[in-house]
Amino acid sequence: MKEIRLSGIRKAYGRETVVHDMDLVVRPGEFLTILGPSGCGKTTTLRAIAGLEEPDDGEIRFDDQVVFSRQKGVIVPPEKRNLGLIFQSYALWPHMTVEKNILQPLQNKGLSRAEIDERTTRALDSVQMSAFRKRYPSELSGGQQQRVAVARMIASQPPILLMDEPLSNLDAKLRLEMRAELLRLHRELGSTTVYVTHDQAEALTLSDTVVVMDQGSIVQIGAPYDIYHHPTNLLVAEFIGEPRINLIEGELTEAGGTVVLQGKGIRIPADAAAGSASRRLVASVRPESILLSTEKRDGWQEVRLDNAQPTGSTTILQVAAGDSRLSLVQTGFVRLEPGIALWIDFDPASVNFFDPATGKNIRTSSKVAGADVG
Amino acid sequence: MSGDRVSGTGRIGAVLRFQAYRIANRPDMVIGVICLVALAFLVLGPLLEIIRDALSLQPYDLAYHPDGEVGSFSLFHLERVFVSPISKALFYRPLLNSLAIGVTVTAVAVSLGSLLAWLLVRTNVHFKGPLGTLIVVPYMMPSWVIALAWLALFKNDRIGGSEGLAAGLLGFQPPDWVSYGFFPIVVTLSLHYFAYAYLLMSGALATVDSELEEAGAISGMGRWQRLSRITLPLLLPALGSAVVLTFIRILGTFGVPALLGLPVRFFTFSTQIYNSINARNNGDAFVLALVLIVIAVSFIWINSRIIGVRKSFVTMTGKGFRRREINLGLWRVPLTILVWVFVLASVLLPLTILLWESLILLPGDYSLDNLTTYFWIGQGNTNLAYGEPGVLLNDGILNALGNSLKLGVSAALFNGFVGLLVGYAVVRGRGTRLSRWLESIAFAPYIFPSIALGAIYIGMFSTPLGPIPALYGTFAILVLITVVKNLPFTSRTGIAAMLQIDRSLEEAARVLGMGWFKRLVRIIMPLSASGLISGMLLTFITAMRELSLIVLLLSPSNMVVTGVIFYYQEQNMPQHSGAVALLLVLVIVLANVLVRLVAHLAGARSLASNAGA
Ligand SMILES: Nc1ncnc2c1ncn2[C@@H]1O[C@H](COP(=O)(O)OP(=O)(O)OP(=O)(O)O)[C@@H](O)[C@H]1O
Ligand SMILES: [Mg+2]
């Protein structure tokens, strides 16, 4: 268990800066996920922590130990950082058996024979791969290879675990299984974990803290709940959540003493804090927080059902309100005819407002990304 | 003020420390720099050295310039070579001879090699497997083994020594132009280098996806159109490099023109260089070597202009795609027979002739009762062959054979190791200037025709050089020059092998705490072994049969078996030279079989598992 502290980390390839002055603290024992679109610099950040990439500026500490600092003139090489890393490609050594893959790095640490055997066995047991000790990696399925990579990582019991999209090569079912497994292992080992993914569901289920990155910068740091409910900007709002969040652009107007956002064919309740009349804003509403009725109700807005897509446990409804289109999610298998009228309403607490020019959440924009960093 | 200064020096300290850490953190860079410096010293250093020697007065020139100062700038050598009364004999005639031989042999060998490659790779001739193995045997033999056989067969009685088999059996003397000079040189060199061209072209042909041709067929192209519009353009780069590589090697080859040219004073560039060095006119030899290098470089340049720099050199190995065999139909059987006859003749005929010759007691007498095993196991009889004992009991020969083996093995090991390191530094440093420089300099020895490189090394290492003692006459210089000459090939093998190893395999080891040396031994070497071993085997073969490269550097103290053969031939002891040549071919073939067997047994399991990963 170690704290990881990045301050002012910058990395450029040639002229192009791919990580901008990044500050980040991973608390001891925390499971932190770095989430972001492809090419935003997640892998680069992770490799900088591992020491496989050399930042152009900034400092990295593990607890009190400086492992990288340009100012202080320190680079601790990866082999001395004592961490575990899982690659997207697993990087199992193809010329060694499963057992040897795990033994090799342990032998290197100068452990006693008994200790090595004990750790190997325990690591293989904990990923349920004991039966495959003598196999070569090419004789294993993708999921099994992944487990061996995990076993190799945990056998050396590093205080820091780094994982780069470890589940992206697995099929959907296996991914769910391994997700639970990784979470269990993390609890058992208690290592500080940094996990890179572009799968938002993975980030929400696994993490204590989610870091959303875009174009080399951190956009938001927070608990999954906060990230989901209070995105700091439109990008985060859109990137997280499935089906996609509803965005309605419109103008604030006063009607009968209450402030509403008037979009194309749809009204969203707003409060005075949203600003003065005629300000243009973008409202966001999660599909599952829109209230729905099949009967006419007072003050609710009428919409027309375009289609219903039941997935079994939930149903996604696409509705049209004037020129706007909204997605709704209802629990259960909903059977409704397309074309019928429905009535919807919004809970003001579930609505976020964004400035269309900057994309920033007008409520949380006062406490932006860096503020969470200690 | 003082506070500033302290923090200033502190910062400089931090910057220095940071750079030190940084360098230590990049083993590929450290290796890259070391290799670059070493190679620059071993490749470019000698070149500069002979340019300097060629342009200044040397001690051996004082006979012509008694009051000249050694080391002062002078055009003396250039004048001698280019515009003096002896220029014609020294420079122009050998130049024309070399170029004529080079062009003719390249044309014959590359056409023959390409044709055979096409037949073996793309058509359904019979018994391809054994044919493919047999066809590279001429390449494993020294090129001049065929020349020895030629002499045994077609020697006439006019030049000295006894008459050859043809004269002995048929009773007519072959004319001089058949026995010696241009014609036999072209024939024997072609019979050797077709196998080299075959190796280059079959690798390239195997990589041309026949789906591309099928696509052409579907879009309505006829057979000839497919060949001319698809296959040939795809092969052009390989063809270009086969032409250039073959041509450069022929320019630098020494054995054949020496055996078949020197007796009639037919000089090529390489034999003229040898002659000048023997006559202690090193300056002339250096100028000639430089001209040879200029010719080679211009050829490479022209080739890369025509074909494009990036594509101009292909490696010898290529991964197979889906290949469809062309049905030869009625031609299948006749072509099969033709190919077999040719290959068997080019392999077995010379060896049989040499064997026969080595069993003849008195040269020129081909009757059965003149047969003897004396030259193999004789005890040494003062009446015969200057009292030299038979080959198998002859300490000098066995010693030289031992030296050759030692040379082959050490060159293979060093080359394998250097190739691995260069490959590592080049591949891991991809995109950096260091990586590009290293790749080019490792390729540079290609431009030195063998004999020219030998001449350069004489110039460079005949006197102590910094910490290096004078290496002339030592075994070390043979290893050094062989390693350098084979570097382009082995570093290519190393690069190809390293490209197969994903970077993350090494990074995983790094993160798990394995230091660089451990990673090298445990991860990188096992994973690149199969590629490196075949590269090392080829280096071994090349080193064992090498003469052109080292002939100038040989002395009694570091004699190798190829030198011995040459010596016996010069001394007009054909039975000995034939027997030793046979012995050498036997050793090379055996070593080849042995290494392949061992590699096959050892590599079977791990290779199988590599293939899937
Ligand atoms: N070795 C390199 N040389 C040049 N540019 C690089 C290099 N490695 C990464 N980049 C660039 O840096 C940016 C960030 O790359 P990085 O691999 O960190 O993205 P990522 O967030 O992990 O993306 P993905 O989700 O696709 O893996 C990309 O634009 C990429 O093109
Ligand atoms: Mg990535």
Which two structure tokens, joined as six digits, stand for B485?
A: 């000459």
Q: Could you say which of B505, B514, B609 has the minimum Cβ distance to residue A79?
A: B514
Helix (H) or strand (E) holding A258: strand A258-262
Which residue has 């027997």 as its token pair? B579
* CB distance B583 to B138 below 8 Å: no
Ligand 1 in reach of A42 Cβ (< 6 A): yes
Residue A145 lies in a domain: yes
* CB distance B377 to B592 below 8 Å: no
Strand runs labelled E in B165-243: none
Whose C-alpha lies nearest to ligand 1, atom 31? A39
ipTM value: 0.83
Q: Are strands A83-86 and A57-62 parallel, antiparallel or unpaired?
A: unpaired
Residue A372 lies in a domain: no
Residue A362 lies in a domain: no
CA distances from B234 to B197, B240, B314 (A): 17, 11, 12
Cα–ligand 1 centroid distance for A63 (angstroms): 28
Q: Are residues A253 and A329 in the same domain?
A: yes
Q: Are residues A234 and A247 in the same domain?
A: no
Q: Are residues A31 and A152 in the same domain?
A: yes
Ligand 1 in reach of A18 Cβ (< 6 A): yes
Residue A369 lies in a domain: no
The burial of B258, by beta-carbon neighbours within 10 Å (0-12 exposed, 13-18 middle, 19 or more buried), is given as: buried
Average pLDDT on B572-578 reads 80
How many whole angstroms separate alpha carbon A83 and alpha carbon B512? 7
* CB distance A202 to A179 below 8 Å: yes
Predicted confidence pLDDT, tens digits, chain A (374 residues)? 899 999 999 999 989 999 999 999 999 999 999 999 999 999 999 999 999 999 999 999 999 999 999 888 899 999 899 999 998 888 899 889 999 999 998 988 888 999 999 999 999 998 889 999 999 998 898 889 989 999 999 898 899 999 999 888 888 888 888 888 888 889 988 999 999 998 999 999 999 999 999 999 999 999 999 999 999 999 999 999 888 999 999 998 887 778 888 888 888 988 767 777 788 999 999 999 999 999 999 889 999 999 999 988 999 999 998 888 999 999 999 888 899 999 999 998 899 999 999 999 987 644 444 434 33
Q: Are residues A157 and A229 in the same domain?
A: yes
Q: Could you say which of B13, B502, B611 has the minimum Cβ distance to residue A89?
A: B502
Q: Are residues A209 and A94 in the same domain?
A: yes
Average pLDDT on B158-175 reads 71
How many whole angstroms separate alpha carbon B324 and alpha carbon B217? 13
Cα–ligand 1 centroid distance for A77 (angstroms): 21
State whether the Cα torsion B541-B544-B545-B546 is positive or negative.
positive
Q: Are residues A22 and A76 in the same domain?
A: yes
Cα–ligand 1 centroid distance for A6 (angstroms): 19
Helix (H) or strand (E) holding A147: helix A142-155
Q: pLDDT per residue over B9-52, tens digit each?
A: 677 888 888 888 888 888 888 999 999 998 888 888 878 888 88
What per-residue confidence (pLDDT) applies to A340? 93
Instruction: Answer whether residue B262 shows pLDDT above 70.
Output: yes
Cα–ligand 2 centroid distance for B190 (angstroms): 55
Asked, as a colleague might, if the bond just before B488 is cis with ω within 30 of 0, I would say no
Task: Provide the residue range defining the domain that includes A260.
Answer: 239-354
Q: Are residues A82 and A52 in the same domain?
A: yes
Cα–ligand 1 centroid distance for A19 (angstroms): 10
Residue A113 lies in a domain: yes
Q: Are strands A192-197 and A160-164 parallel, antiparallel or unpaired?
A: parallel
Final residue in a domain of this structure, among A201, A221, A238? A238
Instruction: State whether B13 and A73 contact (CB < 8 Å).
Output: yes
* CB distance B426 to B438 below 8 Å: yes
Determine the distance in angstroms separating the CA of B454 from the nearest CA of chain A, rounded to an integer.
41
How many whole angstroms separate alpha carbon B192 and alpha carbon B253? 12
Q: Touching check for B609 and chain A: CB below 8 Å?
A: yes
Q: pLDDT per residue over B414-449, tens digit each?
A: 999 999 999 999 998 888 889 888 988 888 887 788
Q: How far apart are the first and last CA of chain A?
A: 18
The alpha carbons of chain B give a radius of gyration, in whole angstroms, of: 27
How many whole angstroms separate alpha carbon B566 and alpha carbon B571? 9
Residue A310 lies in a domain: yes
Point out the ligand 1 atom lying closest to the alpha carbon of residue A198.
Answer: 25
Q: Choose from B26, B511, B605 for mutation: most chain A CBs within 10 A.
A: B511
Q: Are strands A83-86 and A160-164 parallel, antiparallel or unpaired?
A: parallel
How many whole angstroms separate alpha carbon B176 and alpha carbon B158? 8
Q: Could you say which of A83, A95, A138 has the minimum Cβ distance to residue B527?
A: A95
Q: Residue B213 corresponds to which amino acid?
A: E
Residue A361 lies in a domain: no
Confidence class of residue B3 from pLDDT cuts 50, 70 and 90? very low
Q: Could you say which of A95, A105, A156 has the minimum Cβ distance to residue B609?
A: A95
Chain A residues close to B505, C-beta within 8 Å: 91, 93-94
Q: Phi and psi of B19, rounded to 5°?
A: -65, -40
Residues 6+ apart with CB under 8 A from A245: A237, A238, A284, A285, A286, A287
Q: Give one word for B180, left, alpha or beta, with left for phi > 0 and alpha for psi -120 to 50.
A: beta
Residue A78 lies in a domain: yes
Confidence class of residue B612 from pLDDT cuts 50, 70 and 90? very low
Final residue in a domain of this structure, among A217, A238, A259? A238
Instruction: Answer whether residue B173 shows pLDDT above 60.
Output: yes
Q: Are residues A260 and A212 in the same domain?
A: no
* CB distance A63 to A17 below 8 Å: no
Q: Are residues A33 and A177 in the same domain?
A: yes
* CB distance A195 to A32 below 8 Å: yes
DSSP line for B334-355 = HHHHHHHHHHHHHHHHHHHHHH
Number of compact structural domains in chain A: 2
| Domains of chain B by residue range | 25-73+373-613
What per-residue confidence (pLDDT) applies to B606? 45
Residues 6+ apart with CB under 8 A from A94: A136, A137, A138, B505, B527, B609, B610, B612, B613
How many whole angstroms separate alpha carbon A163 and alpha carbon A186? 12
Instruction: State whether B17 and A87 contact (CB < 8 Å).
Output: no
Instruction: State whether B507 and A85 contact (CB < 8 Å).
Output: yes
How many whole angstroms separate alpha carbon A360 and alpha carbon A353? 8
Q: pLDDT per residue over B336-376, tens digit each?
A: 888 888 888 888 888 888 888 777 766 666 666 666 666 67
Which two structure tokens, joined as six digits, stand for B220?
A: 């309505």
* Window from A71-75, B128-132, B331-335 with minimum mean pLDDT: B128-132
Average pLDDT on B464-479 reads 82
Instruction: State whether A108 and B514 contact (CB < 8 Å).
Output: yes
Classify residue B141 by its DSSP letter. S
How many whole angstroms separate alpha carbon A41 and alpha carbon A47? 10
> Which residues of A have a CB under 8 Å from any CB of B?
50-52, 54, 70-75, 77-85, 87, 89, 91-95, 104-105, 108-109, 136-139, 152, 156
The CATH number of residue A209's host domain is: 3.40.50.300
CATH number of B25-73+373-613, picked from 1.10.3720.10, 2.40.160.40, 1.20.1200.10, 3.20.20.70? 1.10.3720.10
How many whole angstroms separate alpha carbon A309 and alpha carbon A317? 6
Classify residue A131 by its DSSP letter. G
Q: Are residues A26 and A158 in the same domain?
A: yes
* CB distance B342 to B113 below 8 Å: no
What per-residue confidence (pLDDT) applies to A364? 64
**How crowded is residue A297: how many other Cβ atoms within 10 Å of its Cβ?**
13
The CATH number of residue A262's host domain is: 2.40.50.140
Q: Are residues A255 and A288 in the same domain?
A: yes
Q: Residue A309 corresponds to which amino acid?
A: Q
* Window from B119-133, B174-188, B308-322, B487-501 with minimum mean pLDDT: B308-322
Q: Touching check for B7 and chain A: CB below 8 Å?
A: no
Q: How far apart are the first and last CA of chain B?
A: 63
Q: Are residues A254 and A227 in the same domain?
A: no
Q: Residue A267 corresponds to which amino acid?
A: R
How many whole angstroms separate alpha carbon A163 and alpha carbon A146? 11
Tell me the CB-side half-sphere exposure of residue A248, using CA atoms within 13 A.
Answer: 31
Q: pLDDT per residue over B50-104, tens digit each?
A: 888 888 887 777 777 777 777 778 888 888 888 888 888 889 999 999 999 999 9
Q: Give one word for A290, left, alpha or beta, with left for phi > 0 and alpha for psi -120 to 50.
A: beta
How many whole angstroms separate alpha carbon A213 and alpha carbon A218? 4
What per-residue confidence (pLDDT) applies to B212? 65
How many whole angstroms separate alpha carbon A106 and alpha carbon A129? 18
Beta strands across the sheet bearing A16-26 = A16-26, A4-13, A57-62, A65-69, A74-75
